[in-house]
Structure 1
């Protein structure tokens, strides 16, 4: 081959090229950002709109429906993934666009669509908040500020702006949000009895406070040579100033705000709360900016937090409760460790078979050069140094050395034939070169289609696939250049028997034993060729067995369980619950967790937005940090099962436990019930819920809908209200001020910070239905005099039940049935649940479909199997070019399904399921398994074509010659995979199914390939020979007929 010939003739250039690869690889590695997982760059836009005081059905009718109509007219909106939610006073939209849509364009399109209908939306809504939703926008660090000497208000001041402003200044920090803070405000609590006595209505007071507390520039004076700005100083400075504010006059008497309200410098009514180990605290969640490495930002944050901890007042603690840097570092270090361990085990296998430390060094040098060259590919493709790109390189260890093993073994074989090292290096590489190239390109053919898979699965798999592909290409180049060059100039020294060490003699004995096994294997091949139909039956039985075993004992899921030394719990209180009740119940749940010695601490946050959920004070989140896995007697999953049972004792809430370590607060199973009528949908949802809870293996079963719940309704008597000069809009605005509260201007506190002026009824005046009836409304007589009437005089107060949350999917109402699994694979639980639900008769227009992880699993598996189909086609075309035959590659492709029986057995024995990780192992297998068959068939064809050996003898000789490189590469591959498959550290079990699937598949496929592939090749060759013979006879017969016809025509002429 010209590459190896050039490398041998120009060793300096070869060495320089290798050093360049190493140098550029190290430079690329130094410049790679470090993250735990790949970035998922699908354009997803989130829109949040506050509509204070509006009920969920009002939010749905007045906000959700018109905005959905505008959004779904945009190009690129993906169906089945665009959702809307309406809750009390709030609407949330999650709009998913196709991956081809640029994020900036998607955000602008949504902003423009909402702007075009802004005039048709209620005037009371707050300005829409449009942000890009990113799956990676999860807190990288969470902190708590707690104290036994400082009150909540003082704790808030220490936190924000004190701590928060320092953290926001750290490079790479995009957001630092506060949970459970008590921010100062000017609190104006209206007293209805005093308002009634004074004859002042609530809307008069709101108008007076809003118009008499302001400061603004109002123009300028232009002099002859100067100009001066004019500023109105109308801002009220303190509580006393607000109390003296005139709100109305009645009968010549002045009524001041202090006469009808309690005014004081208070704190906001918090809608969030947090605690650390049961002690109320202020929480801080930090999100990194796009384009920054997680570790890079976390390291800087740790330094800043350490500085801040030293400045805390006595009795006040600043505690890190979540640190993604620890997890990222642990995950990346684990993959690095498995890479090094796999390399060491692989090199040990090479030494065992080649019995030469020089051969081992020559072969082993392919690993560091190829891996470092792989980092160049990771950098060039724009990936981060994450667990998937590193995992690709780690799993490729056995593959990267394969080419070097095969090349070096063949060179050693040629040396054994009596050739000098220079000639052996040239001819040995040339002889095996095309086969090695075919095996390498077959592996690349498997992963290139995976790299072009669209959707989230494609984004996830791309770093894995392209990292392996880049490193494999580099290993091929090294095997064709560095290996033959070193083999030519650095030969093994010849040693007499007495000069050999005990280890060398031991390996010599192993080599002689292996040679005897090779001869025996040649006889086994001969036997297999004599019983070829038995071998065909064995191949079919293995394939059928794999299918039956998977169906009977295997299971399928989306992602494997992983012990990451943490458990998360979602607590959902009844829809009408307030923040205090939610926190009281949540603390009871957290206290149960802290009884277990495995739980180091708990961090509770309530009222904060959870991933893909609308925020509400009726839901909370508990984060539990566990002791390291090595220090625990039970796994996180086992502890989660115990906690789930114990937490059921806490009444009044629904508790969901997430211990799998991946997916956070997303439940594994989601079935979506759609239909037009909210009432019917809710009724069907309850029926489905009752049935789903009876399915074995389904736990944490719940509905996405929060409700139904009790509510008060106000129906204005339009004729009576109109006679008094009141409109429905005035009544609604007064009610919103009274019960939802409004910001009636600003106030500058003593520290110089601008605070809100909050106007609403006193807490004791908004607790009962009768308080609603007594709400004072201002009416004016014909003479212009003002007096008040209670709301109950112009409206009828009633009660009703309505959903606390209304969900939409693709503009249709939807209720999602959610569940986790315990003790059964996701596929089994889903099938059992769908079977039971099918017994329920749905009215026309109501359907149930899969969503969530189920839908993602189906989409991912479909994408992977489609890519594998394309990969097999590409492999076939590569082999057609390699062998110059359309039939011979079929014998090689038959080896692919032979690995499946080993995969299934390995997954069943280890308790794993067929998930995205084990499927990645199957992908890897497709290229590996073909390699052994290529080595066998390539030599058999060479023996037939170059030496004229009959097919049977050629296959037997191919088995004898190629057995050593096949077993060397197989054992090297298994050795390289062992560290990944064993795991052993936190989170490592997430990746273990890949290694287990590959090892199981390689073992069975190697055994079956060595027996079955020669048989199939002989069968195919026999069919080809018979076809050619038949075609020859047919052409001869037709030629004779044409000759006879020509003679007859000549005679007749």
Structure 2
């Protein structure tokens, strides 16, 4: 018994199972995680090292290289890059997508342990690492400001109260403080005073270390009791440290505050953050991979309200960046688009069926199919995001197709006078194979995406799975519930109304016009063949020449702005310039809030770097983000000495490194001088390209450097070693941590340095004295000469080789593919030597990989569909007939993208793949009927003519329904519309052109291929199997 007949004869079973599936799907929907994009786990680990006082070259050679040698042996490591700057090292390890991040972290920890013995002994704090997922950016940025409350106290509040409380919120993975302001006691020695008292830096250092000991002293054990021995408590603040006796002279103690400024301060004075002009700390909240972003943010915001009372007086914890807002807007807008699509599809059904009862049957299939899809998604671990909602919206026009095909066959039999139950059984059996063919061939299109590797494959796996699950659900509904409902449908009673008669006359007129044109097409087949080859050539030409893009720029309402100041700029100078830019941003009527940070933070390793997070006002209160970005760029470029790089924060990120621009071009070479010679020349040439903007490089080799040249012979004669010189310089100018204060909640450093005024330029070196082996103080000037040079501000490595990166963005209207081609052309023109290896990384690299695989992806989809159709029809020929509409669909999609000024992005390619699955539906309905009529004895010409006319209405109806489902997407309504619009336009354009052409191309090609098959069979003396009944 056919499944449809079973469901018709057992209505209670069918209804109960349907209700159960709908309820389960509705419950599953409430439990689906909500995020901006599908989960993509990038196995990325960031390693950080801090070596106060170390130059970029020292960091690169003594810290980066030993670590890189150990990391290079880790299995599954895909890329390794490092950026060494003054005091700091940022090293990024990106592993293969299949590598388990926890296992990789264990290997990284083991490598750090092995490398520890090769690192400088002066590094008091070992390197640390952190697991990072570039695709899972913080969902919330909080700022903690305190007015008169010291930053180090706010830092303690953040680390001991706020971060633990927020980490306990359901779904929170971690809370990270950007630019920590950890408490420290800073001892700023006066070189003149200590020299006058016969002291040196090393003497004071040893005295502080001995006075601040926290070593155990033992126990007193008697016959009746045991006593714990405790020595003098550690000093805890600057006042107590200032009273320490560091030496004696003439029976009088010399206290630390007599020879130094002792102050409570912060450990890192080269990092600072502001919110709306007020100093602040920035806390980033990251969610767990499977957590619901909206629920996480709501939970954190409730905790923030509760934490306000626990803050010091005057302190305030505020929300700066809320990623859930764009997600809420996008989800809400897509849900609206979903409802609009459902409404348009129902309207299409009503226009064709013109009866409420008949319209209700395919219409009710939409929500039921979607509910079943939600259940499938929950079971398979998918969630609600922009990509899956895009799939659901486009699926609205697809899930109704199966019900329309089944209903049309049943209604036709009812109108012929058959009883509804018998008509339902017969109609469902007639088109059951057709519906199955449509569904399986559509799923076949998405198999390459489901099996596609790489980052893009991970993102769009969710889209392909969602659409596939929706059409499977629709197949189930169309073969079970739809025949049952149709079997209870009454025949047409009473005279049709005016609207009904008008619509019917219109459809009859269209059918007659089509039949007339079809006759000419079948008579002049050569013209149709020429039209077919013209569409094939046109589609191929446009595929090659249409600008190639990656992902559309999404308007999330958030900007990230990187700034670069003059080489050698001080933190004070950077703060002043950064403040001027912040005022420009804050003055914009479209900006809601601004957070500013300067110093070596966020992946930067140099002090002359800055960063802004800019939150824009809601979309209905401002123009699009690209317009605002260009205006802010123009205004901020007027600040002297500052370069400003603006980019919108995107929900889909593909780079493991944090960069100033969206795209990165890299150069590697063994010869450092050759690399440093070519990089500036290439940067200057690229900056003149109209296809690029914001061109910049991390190569900064003209930073001012003060070189201390020690005369080894002179130093030996005076009893001073090279090591003494290095140690003295490090103590005076390296922010050297010489001791540790152990508090109740944290450990804090004691930092030794010279007075701030003696650290401003090289004149402070003249005040430095060294103690010789005889105990005599020797001025530094007696053993060394001082000169100024230029040197690198940062040193970059890619793998273990020196590397330079050139970042760039693309101007509005310029496709990434055009920018990449322009860069490659410049390489050829300039004759880049083979000893320098160039390439792209991050998003540009993923774009190249995706571009290289697009042709193979489309070809694989077509081949898989051909195989599926060949198996279903037991024919080598008829699958070609069914696929004959693809060139017209591709031509329509490409032409529509060109007319709207859009490039051939990854989203648009997915739309073209979707078209492959949509347009073959028309040919399947024609071929099925034509084969049935041929088996009944009709000639191929009569069979295909009658099939085209008979299936014209359902073809037109299903095509309009599919197009109606894509209308809200193509219209570009709401948040994240930029991501969806290319797909919607490609689908509508492809459907429109394919509908106009394939209604004539398919029958002509059917006759051509059928004749070819017959001649081939006669020539080989074999039976023609092209007309055999399809495999069921």
1:628 pairs with 2:618: yes
Residue number among 720, 733, 742 corresponding to 2:727 in the alignment: 733
Contact in 1 for aligned 2:37/2:652 (Cα 8 Å): no
Aligned to 2:1028: none
Aligned to 2:37: 37
**What's the secondary structure of 1:35's corresponding residue?**
coil
Quote the offset at 1:389 in angstroms: 1.7
Residue range with higher mean Cα deviation, 763-772 or 144-153 = 144-153
Distance change (3 Å), C-alpha of 1:922 and 1:770:
same
**What's the secondary structure of 1:1002's corresponding residue?**
helix
Rounded Cα–Cα distance in structure 1 between residues aligned with 2:69 and 2:903: 42
Contact in 2 for aligned 1:276/1:603 (Cα 8 Å): yes
Contact in 1 for aligned 2:326/2:557 (Cα 8 Å): no
Aligned to 2:770: 777
Aligned to 2:409: 410
Quote the offset at 1:211 in angstroms: 2.3
TM-score, length-scaled by structure 2: 0.93
1:828 pairs with 2:818: yes
Aligned to 1:58: 58
Residue range with higher mean Cα deviation, 214-223 or 1020-1029 = 214-223
Residue number among 756, 775, 778 corresponding to 1:789 in the alignment: 778
Deviations 1:662-716 (A, max 9, x none): 5686634432222222232122111111111111132111112234311122233
Deviations 1:408-445 (A, max 9, x none): 11111121222111111111111111111111011111
TM-score, length-scaled by structure 1: 0.92
**What's the secondary structure of 2:444's corresponding residue?**
helix
Distance change (3 Å), C-alpha of 1:474 and 1:317:
same
Quote the offset at 1:151 in angstroms: 6.4
Residue range with higher mean Cα deviation, 671-680 or 172-181 = 172-181
**What's the secondary structure of 1:991's corresponding residue?**
helix
Aligned to 1:594: 586
1:806 pairs with 2:804: no
Residue number among 692, 695, 711 corresponding to 2:705 in the alignment: 711
Quote the offset at 1:629 in angstroms: 2.7
Aligned to 2:1016: 1027
Quote the offset at 1:372 in angstroms: 1.3
Aligned to 2:1027: none
Rounded Cα–Cα distance in structure 2 between residues aligned with 1:1016 and 1:686: 59
Contact in 2 for aligned 1:669/1:826 (Cα 8 Å): no
1:574 pairs with 2:574: no
Quote the offset at 1:182 in angstroms: 5.2
Aligned to 2:985: 996
Aligned to 2:18: 18
Quote the offset at 1:769 in angstroms: 0.9
Q: CA RMSD in A?
A: 2.7
Rounded Cα–Cα distance in structure 1 between residues aligned with 2:129 and 2:148: 40
Quote the offset at 1:397 in angstroms: 0.8
Residue range with higher mean Cα deviation, 950-959 or 11-20 = 11-20
Aligned to 1:198: 197
**What's the secondary structure of 1:117's corresponding residue?**
helix
Contact in 1 for aligned 2:668/2:802 (Cα 8 Å): yes
Deviations 1:252-273 (A, max 9, x none): 7654323321223344453322
Rounded Cα–Cα distance in structure 2 between residues aligned with 1:358 and 1:140: 47
**What's the secondary structure of 1:895's corresponding residue?**
helix
Distance change (3 Å), C-alpha of 1:24 and 1:726:
farther
Residue range with higher mean Cα deviation, 370-379 or 638-647 = 638-647
1:925 pairs with 2:924: no
Distance change (3 Å), C-alpha of 1:932 and 1:764:
same
Distance change (3 Å), C-alpha of 1:415 and 1:226:
farther
Aligned to 1:840: 830
Contact in 2 for aligned 1:924/1:998 (Cα 8 Å): yes
Rounded Cα–Cα distance in structure 1 between residues aligned with 2:264 and 2:595: 30
Deviations 1:321-349 (A, max 9, x none): 21112111112222222112111111111
Deviations 1:200-252 (A, max 9, x none): 11122112211220223344455557655444444124545423423345687
Aligned to 2:216: 217
Gaps of 5+ in 2: 654-658, 1025-1032
Rounded Cα–Cα distance in structure 2 between residues aligned with 1:1034 and 1:869: 31
Aligned to 2:944: 955
Contact in 2 for aligned 1:42/1:455 (Cα 8 Å): no
Contact in 2 for aligned 1:542/1:901 (Cα 8 Å): yes
Rounded Cα–Cα distance in structure 2 between residues aligned with 1:145 and 1:62: 36
Distance change (3 Å), C-alpha of 1:289 and 1:476:
closer
Rounded Cα–Cα distance in structure 1 between residues aligned with 2:174 and 2:21: 40
Rounded Cα–Cα distance in structure 2 between residues aligned with 1:717 and 1:622: 46
Rounded Cα–Cα distance in structure 1 between residues aligned with 2:649 and 2:381: 30
Residue number among 859, 871, 876 corresponding to 1:881 in the alignment: 871
Aligned to 2:970: 981
Residue number among 744, 750, 756 corresponding to 2:749 in the alignment: 756
Rounded Cα–Cα distance in structure 1 between residues aligned with 2:74 and 2:153: 48
1:259 pairs with 2:254: no
Rounded Cα–Cα distance in structure 2 between residues aligned with 1:695 and 1:753: 52
Rounded Cα–Cα distance in structure 1 between residues aligned with 2:280 and 2:72: 43
Gaps of 5+ in 1: 1036-1053
How is 1:1035-1046 mapped onto 2 (pairs within 5 angstroms)? none
Aligned to 2:69: 69
Distance change (3 Å), C-alpha of 1:951 and 1:36:
same
Residue range with higher mean Cα deviation, 569-578 or 196-205 = 569-578
Distance change (3 Å), C-alpha of 1:131 and 1:152:
closer
Distance change (3 Å), C-alpha of 1:631 and 1:91:
closer
Distance change (3 Å), C-alpha of 1:231 and 1:280:
closer
1:491 pairs with 2:506: no
Deviations 1:294-330 (A, max 9, x none): 2111101222223445777887654322111211111
Rounded Cα–Cα distance in structure 1 between residues aligned with 2:921 and 2:226: 86
Contact in 2 for aligned 1:602/1:622 (Cα 8 Å): yes
Distance change (3 Å), C-alpha of 1:209 and 1:316:
closer
Aligned to 1:557: 549
1:944 pairs with 2:938: no
Aligned to 1:935: 925
Residue range with higher mean Cα deviation, 130-139 or 861-870 = 861-870
Aligned to 1:1018: 1007
- The total of aligned residue pairs comes to 1017
Residue range with higher mean Cα deviation, 981-990 or 654-663 = 654-663
Contact in 2 for aligned 1:212/1:234 (Cα 8 Å): no
How is 1:646-665 mapped onto 2 (pairs within 5 angstroms)? 646-659=635-648, 661=650
1:819 pairs with 2:811: no
**What's the secondary structure of 2:829's corresponding residue?**
coil
How is 1:356-435 mapped onto 2 (pairs within 5 angstroms)? 356-435=355-434
Rounded Cα–Cα distance in structure 2 between residues aligned with 1:403 and 1:988: 28
Aligned to 1:1044: none
